Amino acid sequence: MSEQLRAGFIGLGDQGGGMASRLIECGVPTTLWARREASLEPFRGSAATFASTPAELGANSDVVGICVVDDAGTEEVVLGKAGVLSGMKPGSVLALHSTISLDTCHEIRDAAAQSGVGVIDAPVSGGGFAAASGELTVLVGGERAHFDQAYPALDTFGGTIVYLGPLGSGLIAKLVNNTLHAAHYALARDALRAGTSLGLDEDALGQALSASSGNSHSLNISVMMGGFAELAPLVGSLLRKDVAIFDELAAKRGAATGSLIPVADEALDLFGFSRAPRAKESE
């Protein structure tokens, strides 16, 4: 790990907090900022420093990671008044870990280019436990030189880091992944229903499937949580957001998605987070 690399991080939720912790634990000089003081409390007494504004954080960092929930939040902390980009120096790199639209990603890239700042999209998969243990999957798009520059920071929390191509490639891969993840919930529900309707005990069947070739991460989570109702508040709203972004992107580019989106929508219905039908383009 280069001692010269300084990192900044914004977005200290379950996953982002683990990512920031890994940066600090691995000896990377790290600056943090959060809207709420409570988000910073777990880091008091650590080696982290704290900025009063996103701009100050940007000025103190060579690589800045953003892991807030959505497009609006990302735009606010990056492009807003005293946003992180206003403080970043030429030659530094902004890593967008949030699952956002490609339009927002490109808007940020264009704004950053005016200041000589590089941008990569680097969404992650794995959740809070994987973040804290440095085992996240990091999906990266952007210029290779910017990826190489940010790699020492990504390596602190990434167990698998995949460079996928130009800016936006990491986001596309994450959207495909999350839509497939949602679809797997619906398929797992149908499989368990089919087995129980044929006389099997649901708990025993879940245990059997989790150790067999039909296993999936979604099935494992649903079995571990004891059913789908308990999962709804944990995954429903985020999966709805990501499926909607993926659906819009696929429609815009005329990409074939087969049964992927309809089955993912079945899972959203199951969780009580049904999406409004996408408006068809006028002919």
Give the chain's mean pLDDT.
Answer: 93
CATH assignment of 7-166, among 3.40.50.720, 3.40.50.410, 3.40.50.620, 3.40.50.970? 3.40.50.720
d(CA 83, CA 125): 26
Per-residue pLDDT at 279 exceeds 60: no
* E-state strands within the chain: 7-10, 30-33, 49-50, 63-66, 93-96, 118-121, 124-125, 136-142, 158-165
Say yes or no: do domains 7-166 and 172-271 share a fold.
no
For residue 159, how many other CB atoms are within 10 A of its CB?
13
Neighbours of 40 (CB within 10 A): 15
Given a cut of 50, is residue 123 above it in pLDDT? yes
Residue indicated by tokens 């619906």: 186
Residue from 89, 174, 241, 280 carrying the catalytic annotation: 174
Q: What is the pLDDT of residue 2?
A: 43
pLDDT in tens, 167-187: 999 999 999 999 999 999 999
Per-position DSSP letters for 223-240, written without gaps between them: HHHTSSTTTHHHHHHHHH
Quote the pLDDT of residue 222.
83
Strands of 11-100 (E only): list them.
Answer: 30-33, 49-50, 63-66, 93-96
pTM to 2 decimal places: 0.92
Sequence-ordered list of residues with C-beta below 8 angstroms from that of 270, at least 6 positions apart, any chain: 185, 186, 189, 228
Tell me, yes or no, if 174 is annotated catalytic. Answer: yes
Query: Is residue 142 pLDDT above 70, yes or no?
Result: yes
8 Å CB contact between 23 and 153: yes
Tell me what pLDDT residue 229 has. Answer: 75
For the chain, domain boundaries: 7-166, 172-271
pLDDT at site 22 = 98
CATH 1.10.1040 is right for the domain spanning 172-271: yes
